[in-house]
Amino acid sequence: MQFKSLLLLAGATILSPYLVEAQTYTICNPLNGTCPNDPALGTNHTFIFNTSSTVTDYYNITAGSLTYGDDGAEFTISKQGESPTIQSKFFIFFGSVSVIMKAATGVGVVSSIVLESDDLDEVDWEFIGGNDTHAETNYFGKGNTTSYDRAIWYPTPADPTANFYNYTVDWTAERIEWWIDDSLVRTLAYADAVDGKNFPQTPMSVRLGIWSGGDPKGNSIGTIEWAGGETDFTKVPFTMYVKSATIQDYSTGSAYEWGDRTGDWQSIKVITGNSTVAKTITKNATPTLSLGEKWDNLSKTTKLAVYCGGGAAVAALVSVFLFTFFRQRRNGRLEREAYNHLIEKQQQEAYQDQMELHNKGIGGWDKNAYANQGGDALGGWEDNHGSGYVGPNGSASAMAAGGVGSPMVQAGQHNPRSPTMVMRDGDGDGPMSPQSAEFDMKLAQPRFGGSANGGSYMKM
């Protein structure tokens, strides 16, 4: 489409520095050769001309430039030779076009709404700056300009150069209607256009613009007369204002293909799918809202539901927190009780060990075991032990028979747990460092004639 627009600009420049005859032209005529498919609108949309984005997204500026104000897009002629014009980036295959606009003042200045096809089918609304009572309706079929008797003027409710009105073209395969606001002013039937031969019936783009039909440079005398006379450029600027354009495509598809070179509507093929323009419209119609704006757009019922849902969510979170808290607290108590139980058990076991040691005595000897074992618990030193040490002067049996036994420990004289430590010096007279334990025993007189150190020991 951008390439097509560049060709359009180049072609317009070659034709003339001034766009004439309602700015009707084509860059590729399907009656003469193969042309690219026409991109479809495929939907309906109201284009608001309060910012440049509308023109940038959906139209090409084919001549001049536009400004924007409170009254919409401003198409201004500020000097001789200017003719600001826009052309839609899409085509409609039968449809409705409603433009809210105010025409420009100035003798010879033409404000226009034009539906134009590639083979020069055309439907017009035109306003002459010097005419403050009427608007012109017109049409052409396949570029046939052999006569100019198709134009019809209709009165407007008031001065069209001082007031905004809604100018509509409603176009079907059977007829074309021109409306001013809610008033139908003209109808053209298919058969009334030379049995349909001159009836506009192929996909058309929408063009809005202003040009000077009264400019003597480049315009014929007939055109200047039609425009109301020569334009006085000392009275510039001349401005046409467009607030909006509501456009509906009666066909739905992504593009329109010319099937042959007849120019008949039956030869046009509708390519299915979503059009590029329709996708752009959908995207732009869904602006990114802030959280505050999204909240403000909610209904009271939805807000109440959000409040309830939020309260339920908070309650659920609190419940989860409390459940987790008490569960952790319970687990902590159980762990503490288990730990205390373990400590108590260890303390009890330690206490029992101490009591067992106490019962056994400091040396660890078990009194009960000693009592049960008898004299053997002290290595055999028991009062009634029957066998003693036998020296060289007697046998064990003889000593037993004679009552001679091991040395006797006096009862109550010594503690049975350990022998008394006796300290003696070298000559037996004084104390010294302990060398060995010694039982303090009294020796019995030797029997059988033995010496004092040669016999057996006897307990006393």
Q: Rounded to an integer, what distance in angstroms lies between the CA atom of residue 179 and that of residue 164? A: 14
User: Is 174 a residue of the active site?
Assistant: no
Q: Determine how many CB atoms are found less than 10 A away from the CB of residue 250.
A: 15
Residues in a beta bridge with 110: 128, 211
Q: What angle do CA 324, 325, 331 make, to 5 degrees?
A: 85
DSSP-assigned letter for residue 263: -
Q: Determine how many CB atoms are found less than 10 A away from the CB of residue 415.
A: 8
What are the helix (H) ranges across 16-143? 52-58
Strand ranges inside 181-251, DSSP E: 183-189, 204-212, 238-249
Closest CA to 91 of 40, 142, 28: 40
User: Is 126 a residue of the active site?
Assistant: yes
Residue of 74, 82, 116, 126 with catalytic role: 126
Query: At a CB cut-off of 8 Å and minimum separation 6, what does 207 contact?
Result: 23, 62, 85, 86, 87, 88, 112, 113, 114, 115, 116
Residue of 122, 136, 225, 344 with catalytic role: 122
b/e map of 93-120 (b: 16 or more CB within 10 Å)? bbbbbbbbbbbbbbbbbbbbbbbbbbbb
Q: How far is CA 192 from the centre of its chain?
A: 59
Side chain identity, residue 228: G
Contact in structure between 179 and 165 (CB atoms under 8 Å): no
Backbone angles phi, psi at 171, to 5 degrees: -125, 125
Q: Per 3-state DSSP, what percentage of the chain is helix, strand, and coil (rounded to 5)?
A: 30, 25, 45
Side chain identity, residue 459: K
Active site residues: 122, 126
